[in-house]
Amino acid sequence: MTIKSGERMPEGKFKTMGDKGPKDLSTAELFSGKRVVLFSVPGAFTPTCDAKHLPGYLGLADKLHAKGVDTIACMAVNDVFVMNAWGKQSGVGDKVLMLADGNGDYARALGLELDAKGFGMGMRGQRFAIVVDKGVATHVDIEAAGQFKVSAAEHVLAQL
C-alpha cells in the first residue's frame, strides 16, 4: 500500500556516512519533531538524478529552510558508500542528508518500489518527494514513469 498524505511515515532505518564510517539513522531520529523534505531518486549518479534532481534541492536549500524545513534528505536504493561518494561529488555539505536504503526496505515500506530490472538496476525506489511534519506525510508527490515534475525542488517549494 502506497503512503498517502495524512498518514504516519512507517518505521525504518537508513545508513548514513559518519566521521567513523557507516552508521544507522532511524526514522524516529530523522522525523521526530521536525519538518523534513524526503525525496527519492532511482539511483545515485543516474542522469536525471545527478543533473537535475539533487542539484535542484541544493540550489533551493536556503529557500526550503526559510519555509520551515529542518532537513532535506535524499534517499536512494544504493549502498552508503555510493551515496556518500555522490554527496561529496555533488558538494552537498550539510545542505542535503544522503540516505542509503541499501536493500530497498524503506522504499518497500512506503509502497514505492520500482522494478528497474529492465535497465539492469534491480529493484529500486520510485522518484518521489514527501513533506513530513513530525512523522506525518503532509504532501506526497510521486512521479509518473519517466517524468520529473512533481518531485522537483521547485514544485515542493511552491507547496510549502
**pLDDT tens string 51-110:** 889 999 999 999 999 999 999 999 999 999 999 999 999 999 999 999 999 999 999 999
* Mean pLDDT score across all residues of the chain: 94
The answer, yes or no, to whether residue 128 has pLDDT greater than 70, is yes
Known catalytic residues? Answer: 49
Give the CA-trace dihedral at 19, 121, 30, 61, to 10 degrees.
Answer: 80
Question: Grid cell 561529496 — which residue?
Answer: 88
- Please give the tally of structural domains in the chain: 1
In a domain, 6, yes or no: no
Cell of 94: 550539510
> What's the rounded Cα separation, in Å, for the pair 18 and 22?
6
The answer, yes or no, to whether residue 120 has pLDDT greater than 70, is no
In a domain, 143, yes or no: yes
The predicted model scores a pTM of: 0.94
Instruction: Provide the residue type at 104 as one letter.
Output: G
Cell of 64: 526550503
In a domain, 75, yes or no: yes
pLDDT bucket at 43, cuts 50 / 70 / 90: confident
Residue range(s) defining the domain that contains residue 65: 37-159
In a domain, 13, yes or no: no
Mean pLDDT, rounded, for 32-59? 92
